[in-house]
Structure 1
Amino acid sequence: MNHVNRTTFSALALGIAGVLAMGQAQASGFQLRETSVKNLGRGQAGVTTARDDASVVSNNPAAMVNLDKNTVQADVTVIDVSFGFDGGGTSGAGTPLTGGDGGDPGEPTAVPNLAAVFPMHGALEGLTFGASVGAPFGLKTEYDRDWVGRYNAVKSDLKTVDFTLSAALKVHDRFSVGLGFIYERADVTLSNAVDFGTIMAGTGLPPAAGGVPQGFDGFAEVSGDDTGFGWVAGMQWQPTDQLSIGYSHRSEIDTELEGDVEFTTPAQFQAAQSVYRATAAAFARLPANDPRRALIPQLLVLGNGFVNSKISAPLTTPSEDTISVQYDFSDSIRVMADAQFTDWSSLRSINIDYVNPFQPNTVEDFSWKDTEMYALGAEWDLSDAFTLRGGVTMDETPTHIETRTPRLPDNDRMLYSIGFTWHVSDAFSVDAAYQRIEIDTSDVDIRSSSNSHLVGSFDGYANLFGVSAQYQF
């Protein structure tokens, strides 16, 4: 019974931990760096020193001073992630896990961003204001409902949408500062199967005779949403005509997801719950020193749990520090390098709070590590009308084998990018970019809410295609 109590109610915690972890494959964790197609083409190099890119509203407000005209920019990046699983495992009762490999959990997903920059004139000369709407974090994956890892994950859908208002001040011809205010909306939906057959078999109570491991699967789906507030601040310094240095810091944003959990339970378990409740009532009438009374809390959990109720869980999106250095070798050739440091250690654990009093809070270890990303990119103006760019990036994962789940086929990766700009006219330009991501093999060795043990590895890659349009007036 003690073993059942420890494992039964970790489903939601494992699910939310996974949904936070399993970002789209283009960035470590669940970051979405696709705020700009120009940045995509440079391999995310030059993010905080970009000169002709309105996405600096959210990446580094200080760099908005580089735009001397009102600028409106729309970017869309399609992320096509592909993963394959090879492995197996055992149920909580020790029998081999049944099911297939889950198929390809990824699917093409469009990530849009919109930004606008407005430099002031006259008495407000030197001030620039900007606004943007974008998705800095997110994922969408779905496995087959009957796959071998169904007790760990089936569907994961995380969306965050940021609305950012920024201002920049040109302190000197070579130095500027900027500050932005962020309003973030987070929405999470996730699901996984629950092995009620193993749970019943492990109780040792009369209904256990009907418990068949993997024979009575149920389903759990949790959803929640909330809003939070944060900020972004930065600076830009141009010590020489050829050299530019930019720095920005994005704050953590705390939200408290509130929503619902919905359980689909098999008839066999529903019938067993009445026995658990009756047994708890019978044990409550025993003498105070009877050792069977110690089983009452577990019996109450099993007899009254797995019912639809409200839930809440904290979600913190991490802080980020980004440094960019750009050097102009000539009027037409530029090289840039970036280093980004993400404070993933803010996600130490996940704490699920159930409104149902018979379901105790569940705390799952997360223990992500801080990560570093290094990018090198270049641009070449082929003519007044066309600019070619490319880049290469090394990106670390915050995950590790001790807490990695099937919702998190995430590992270190290399990114290779190419892109171009077509200046259709002085006012209008179009960008396109392609990025290929090669991801190291990700091993998993994890137990589910039903105490099944999944062991295997994921191999994956991603292709990203971006297009954008910019208009200046």
Structure 2
Amino acid sequence: MQHAHRLTLTALALGITGVLTLGQANATGFQIRENSVQNLGRANAGTAVAENDASVVSNNPAAMVNIDRTTVQVDATVIDLNAEFNGGGQAAAGTPLAQPLTGGDGGDPGDPTAVPAIAIVAPLTGAFEGLTVGASINAPFGLATEYDRDWVGRYNAVESDVKTIDLTLSAAVKLHETFSVGVGLIYQRADVTLSNAVDFGSGICRVNIAACITPDPVNAPFGPQKNDGFVEVSGTDNGLGWLLGFQFRPTERLSIGYSHHSEVDHEIDGDIDFTVPPAVVAAMGPMAAAYADGPGGAKLTTPSIDTLSAKYDFTDTFRMMADVQVTGWESLQAVNIQRASGTPIASEQFQWEDSTMYALGGEYDLSDAFTLRAGVAIDETPTNDEHRTPRLPDNDRQLYTLGLTWNASPNLSVDAAYMRIEIDSPTISAVSTSGSLLVGEYKGHANLFGVAARYRF
């Protein structure tokens, strides 16, 4: 019974910690930067010094002083991640009953996914003149991937659906003609659904080897890949964070901005749903109670983000921007899983490192009506070869972008952008909680298409 209980808990650990290992397109780790199509068009360069862009509410509130009229902005970006797995592995790896994993390559795990964002900035008047306030809703972390249920890596991952939504309320004040500061409060909602197959046959073999070799390994009722079940874990939580930034404009042509987005702590409360084959339930008897549905949870901390931006206007019609952004993934070393009662379950190791993105972009005003953009960026991965999993087949990335703004009227502007992401091929050597070993390589890229509308009152 003790072994069956341990198998149950490690399966739960895989599900809950999957919230931390979900690959997505634009940023390494599970970060999403798609809250501004203008930023997308210049490879996310200049995010902390952007002008006429309400996304600064959550990117750098100090830059809200660049907006002189109440502005409402709606952005939507479709992320189309394409990935292909090539490899295989062994079930019951390292045991006498080890055998090649069956199943296909999983298909393309990344369906096109829309990421919306909305923001409003309002410069105040009267007694509060000089103060600018803003609010935004965007998704800073997460996305969704789904493999075929019978793919070769089904014991590692099938579905991964993570949504984090931020409501940010910010305020900014210009302390001097050249210097402004801003602060923000972040309310973050996390919603998670993860699933994977469970090789109950291998689990029974570890408890009772006779059941897997009698009358012989081929015809025995139990064994690796003979008695697959399924586990799904879902959970939600709300957390609070904060945002601080400044903007310095030493000359009319040069702007420098910095922002710090704090970590946000979560206590994920999860529901565990096991699907166990009837033959396994009958064979385990009272031990099958270890696979009963029930609650579980884990502490999750989304990382801090530090951004340094610069913008220089070479002429009245041409300007360039640069960003260096550090995401504090080093906080993600391990995730400790526990039952609702507080009983420790398992510790999943990640050993991530801080990652840095370097971006360079430019804008050129063709006329008062049209502005063109382009940019390039390099985005480092926080993962490593030893702990990489199919839920996050992530590696370093190169980003190439184009963008356009059409000022349809003095009040209305429309943005469009395209981003191409090339991903260095990551390798996988991952052991699942079912004891299988998956080995292989991914090849992938992503295409992002964004549109936005902005209205000034």
Q: Same fold (TM over 0.5)?
A: yes
Is the aligned partner of 1:379 residue 2:334? no
Q: How do 1:443-454 and structure 2 match up within 5 A? A: 443-454=427-438
- What is the aligned residue count? 446
Contact 2:336/2:344 (8 A) holds in 1: no
Q: Tell me, what secondary structure is at the counterpart of 1:202?
A: helix
Q: Within the alignment, does 1:333 sit opposite 2:333 as a pair?
A: no
Q: Is structure 2 residue 167 aligned with structure 1 residue 163?
A: yes
State the one-letter code of the partner of 1:248.
S
1:242 to 228, 253, 268: 253
Q: CA deviation at 1:12?
A: 2.6
Q: 2:176 aligns with which of 168, 172, 182?
A: 172
> Structure 2: how far apart are the matches of 1:25 and 1:212?
38
Partner of 2:236: 225
Secondary structure of 2:150's partner?
coil
Which residue is 1:347 aligned to? Answer: 332
Q: Which is further off, 428-437 or 341-350?
A: 341-350
Is 2:185 the partner of 1:201?
no
CA contact (8 A) 2:164 2:189 kept: yes
Aligned to 1:44: 44
8 Å CA contact retained: 1:25, 1:410? no
CA distance in 1, matches of 2:288, 2:4: 13
Q: Does the CA-based 8 Å contact 2:27-2:379 persist in structure 1?
A: yes
Aligned twin of 2:61: 61
The correspondence for 1:316, drawn from 267, 285, 301, is 301
Query: Given residue 198 of structure 1, which amino acid in structure 2 is its aligned partner?
Result: S
Distance in 2, Cα, partners of 1:43 & 1:27: 11
Residue matched to 1:305? 290
* 1:369-414 CA-partner distances (Å, limit 9, x unpaired): 1001000000000000000001000000110111111101110000
Asked whether the 8 Å contact 1:397–1:410 carries over to 2, the reply is: yes
TM-score (normalizing by structure 1): 0.92
Q: Which moved more, 1:40-49 or 1:87-96?
A: 87-96
Distance in 2 (alpha carbons) for counterparts of 1:305 and 1:440: 41
- AA at the equivalent of 1:383: S
Equivalent residues of 2:63, 2:246 under 8 A apart: yes
1:123: how far off? 2.7
What percent of counterpart residues are identical? 60
| Offset of residue 255 of structure 1 | 0.7
Aligned to 1:12: 12
Q: CA deviation at 1:180?
A: 0.3
The more displaced of 12-21 and 220-229 is: 12-21
* Residue in structure 2 matched with residue 116 of structure 1 by the alignment: 120
What's 1:214 paired with?
225
Determine if the alignment matches structure 1 residue 254 to structure 2 residue 265. Answer: yes
Cα drift, residue 8 of structure 1? 5.6
Contact 1:115/1:131 (8 A) holds in 2: yes
Q: Residue 175 and residue 168 in structure 1: after superposition, are their counterparts in 2 closer, same or farther (change >3 A)?
A: same
- CA shift in 2, pair 1:34/1:377, >3 Å: same
- Residue in structure 2 matching 1:423, options 392, 399, 407: 407
Deviations 1:341-385 (A, max 9, x none): 01001111112212489x851111111110010000000000000
Q: Could you tell me how far apart the structure 2 residues matched to 1:360 and 1:430 are?
A: 52
| Alignment partners' CA distance in 2, 1:141 and 1:312 | 22
In structure 2, runs of 5+ residues without a counterpart are: 215-220
Measured in 2, the distance between the counterparts of 1:366 and 1:14 equals 12
Contact 1:127–1:167 (8 Å) recurs in 2: yes
Q: Partner amino acid for 1:155?
A: E
Which residue identity lines up with residue 385 of structure 1 in the other structure?
A
CA contact (8 A) 2:13 2:345 kept: no
| 1:260-299 equivalence runs, <5 A | 260-274=271-285, 277=286
CA distance in 2, matches of 1:356, 1:201: 30
C-alpha deviation, 1:86, in angstroms: 0.3
Q: Secondary structure, in 3 states, of the residue corresponding to 2:279?
A: helix
Which residue number in structure 2 is paired with residue 435 of structure 1? 419
Give structure 1 stretches of 5+ with no counterpart. 278-301
RMSD: 1.7
User: What's 2:444 paired with?
Assistant: 460
Which SS does the other structure have where 1:135 is aligned? Answer: strand
Deviates more, 1:418-427 or 1:305-314: 305-314
Kindly provide the CA deviation profile for residues 244-277 of structure 1, in whole angstroms up to 9, marking residues without a partner as x: 0000000000011112000000112101221xx4
CA distance in 1, matches of 2:5, 2:127: 68
Distance in 2 (CA, whole Å) between partners of 1:23 and 1:97 is 23
